[in-house]
Amino acid sequence: MQGHFHIKNEIRILGIDDSALISDSITIVGAFFRGGMWLDGVLRSEIIRDGMNATERIVEMVLQSKHFPQIRVIMLDGVTYGGFNPVDIVILYEKTGIPVIVLMRNLPDFEKIEVALLNLPEKEKRMEIIRKAGRICKVVTKDESNPVFIQCCGIDPKLAARIVEISSTRSNIPEPLRVAHLIATGIVLGESRGKA
């Protein structure tokens, strides 16, 4: 996906988000979308709260999906799921062959993250995975005063920004992530809540 190519409005995107931290087994949900318009499928898996298995579970979820051949981009809501279970986006890209875009509402505060990791095993390894996600770029989707931030692997940041813009049809958050969040919280809490 490097280089110059035309991005279709109906590019197939898998947006992945997690649910509320109410137990040690955290549900993650993938919303398979055509651009920012149509939901074509829902995937689900479990990861360990504050564990180290998010990368492998997401790889499995993607590779085992009937949608796998069609997925052009994997979108993540940050690089940690289920508390501080980090996703290695380089390994995710290498094992699936699908470019990865990480979306963040705010710039990460690495000092705060390091403090939070002090209580967890393998804190150096977790921090290394978080830092490995690479350069952070700002993207304005709907509103100048409310930008989002992205990191990416396997795709040029300009193309990644364009995909984020195309798929942010209802808010400044891409629909695949917004809907994955609504489904994940709805399944676990009985009703969707929180800022999608």
The band of 57, judged by pLDDT with boundaries at 50, 70 and 90, is very high
Whether the Cβ atoms of residue 8 and residue 35 lie closer than 8 Å to each other: yes
Over 90: is that where the pLDDT of 6 sits?
A: no
Q: HEC profile for 30-46? A: EEEEECCCEEEEEEEEE
Confidence of residue 145 (pLDDT cuts 50, 70, 90): confident
For the domain 12-189, what is the CATH code? 3.30.2170.10
Residue 141: per-residue pLDDT: 85
Task: Give the span between the Cα atoms of 54 and 127, in whole angstroms.
Answer: 14
Please state the rounded mean pLDDT for residues 39-49: 97
Is 178 a residue whose pLDDT tops 70? yes
Share of the chain above pLDDT 90, in %: 84
Is residue 3 scored above 50 in pLDDT?
no
Greater model confidence, 40 or 3 = 40
- Give yes or no for residue 2 having a pLDDT over 70: no
The whole-angstrom separation of Cα 120 and Cα 122 is 7
Torsion-angle region of 112 (φ positive above 0: left; ψ -120 to 50: alpha; else: beta): alpha
Beta strands in 124-190 (DSSP E): 137-139, 148-153
pLDDT above 70: percentage of residues in the chain: 95
